[in-house]
Amino acid sequence: MGRVFTILFTVIVFSNLYNAQEIQIFGELKPGSVVFVKGEEIQSVFLDDDSLTVDEGKYFVFGFDRDAEGSYLLKIKYNNGKVLLKKIDLPKRDYVIQKINNMKQSLVTAPEKENERVLAEREITKAARAKIGEVKEAMYKTGFVRPVKGGRISSIFGSQRILNGEPKSPHNGLDIAAPKGTPVYAMSDGIVRLSADLFYYAGNNIIIDHGQGLNSAYLHLSKKYVKEGDIVKKGEKIGEIGTTGRSTGPHLHWSVQWFNKRVDPAEILKVSFDKN
């Protein structure tokens, strides 16, 4: 994971102090980041009051939304009864302001006649995302690859977009510009939750569930090679770059979430479990 932190925390059991327990944390504890943890003989994990799924007593993941702030308490309980507590204080994170002018107004705001279609497509996506979290296995533990080889980063995660002078929602993904037909690959092992055709905003798009709430989306595709329910492997070709939906040119909009928490795909590319 580019950056790997091996951190020693104090383990507390019924107010008695024991030796420190070692775990590995892959990722940065900051807003818009996904964090992977690997340990041994883990029985349960809580982030504040939320119970996290643990695979094989070793792997779990959590993330902080783009706009997350404040403090969190991570609690790890081991099979031997020991408990590890870690307070997480999130730093402030600044994002870029991105202005795009002379954009077709239909690409800025959906025409009123399209409202019913847009709402219907949101419901389809919502139903697909409702299945995220059903997979308890850490399918992502095979690691990650960039979904496009080459290309140009045309827009980064978290930037506040102002389209034709109109402030819009923050950009919740990474845009990779490349010629139409450029292959798009699954970032990790997973199950396809959505393979949709010609949505108004997203165009042809795919959502993949990587387990324990981690999921990725691939938008504006010209072609798709997977269907809902398919199991895909890391690096498997799932589609081709296009400019379908609300798009000004051929590119892949790649987004990553932990459940509904928006996280930076660029952080994923720093992760490497193989080095440990």
Mean pLDDT of 78-102: 85
DSSP-based three-state secondary structure for 268: helix
- At residue 103, the pLDDT reads 61
Which is nearest to 211 in space by CA: 227, 234, 243?
234
- At residue 101, the pLDDT reads 63
Contact 170, 32 (CB under 8 A): no
Strand (E) or helix (H) holding 128: helix 115-129
Cα–Cα distance measured from residue 239 to residue 205, given in angstroms and rounded to the nearest whole number: 9
Q: Which of 37, 62, 89 is the last residue of a domain?
A: 89
- At residue 254, the pLDDT reads 98
How many Cβ atoms sit within 10 Å of the Cβ of residue 47? 18
Here the CATH number for the domain that contains residue 38 is 2.60.40
> Same domain for 65 and 105?
no
**59: which residues sit within 8 A by CB, 6+ positions away?**
36, 37, 38, 138, 141, 212
Model confidence at 150, pLDDT cuts 50, 70, 90, reads: very high
Model confidence at 3, pLDDT cuts 50, 70, 90, reads: very low
Q: What size, in residues, is the chain?
A: 276
Model confidence at 32, pLDDT cuts 50, 70, 90, reads: very high
Does residue 152 carry a pLDDT above 70?
yes
Does residue 232 carry a pLDDT above 60?
yes
> Same domain for 55 and 134?
no
- Percent of the chain having pLDDT more than 90? 72
- At residue 166, the pLDDT reads 74
Model confidence at 111, pLDDT cuts 50, 70, 90, reads: confident
Does residue 59 carry a pLDDT above 50?
yes
> Same domain for 85 and 112?
no
Here the CATH number for the domain that contains residue 195 is 2.70.70.10
Does residue 141 carry a pLDDT above 50?
yes
Q: Could you tell me which residue, 12 or 79, shows the higher pLDDT?
A: 79
Q: Which of 55, 73, 89 is the last residue of a domain?
A: 89
Mean pLDDT of 194-211: 97
Model confidence at 94, pLDDT cuts 50, 70, 90, reads: confident
> Same domain for 263 and 151?
yes
Rg from Cα positions in the chain: 20
Does residue 49 carry a pLDDT above 50?
yes
| 22 φ, ψ (degrees, to nearest 5) | -95, 135
Does residue 5 carry a pLDDT above 50?
no
What's the total number of domains in the chain? 2
> Same domain for 262 and 149?
yes
- At residue 214, the pLDDT reads 98
> Same domain for 128 and 253?
yes
Contact 84, 76 (CB under 8 A): yes
> Same domain for 101 and 77?
no
Residue linked to tokens 């690997």: 38
- Between the alpha carbon of residue 271 and those of residues 3, 27, 211, 254, the distances in Å are 7, 7, 16, 17
Mean pLDDT of 89-118: 76
- At residue 130, the pLDDT reads 97
Query: HSE of 54 in the Cβ direction (CA atoms, 13 Å)?
Result: 21
- Percent of the chain having pLDDT more than 70? 86
User: Taken in order 181, 185, 176, 227, is the CA torsion positive or negative?
Assistant: positive
> Same domain for 114 and 188?
yes
Domain with 50 in it: 4-89
> Same domain for 11 and 107?
no
**112: which residues sit within 8 A by CB, 6+ positions away?**
none
Q: Considering the chain, what is the average pLDDT of its residues?
A: 87
pLDDT digits (tens, 9 = 90+) for 112-135: 888 899 999 999 999 999 999 999
Residue linked to tokens 């892949």: 252
Which is nearest to 47 in space by CA: 68, 33, 63, 58?
63
Model confidence at 13, pLDDT cuts 50, 70, 90, reads: very low
How many Cβ atoms sit within 10 Å of the Cβ of residue 22? 12
pLDDT digits (tens, 9 = 90+) for 153-187: 998 898 777 767 777 778 899 999 999 999 999 99
Contact 142, 231 (CB under 8 A): no
> Same domain for 250 and 270?
yes
Q: Which of 89, 106, 128 is the last residue of a domain?
A: 89
> Same domain for 105 and 160?
yes
**49: which residues sit within 8 A by CB, 6+ positions away?**
none
> Same domain for 17 and 126?
no
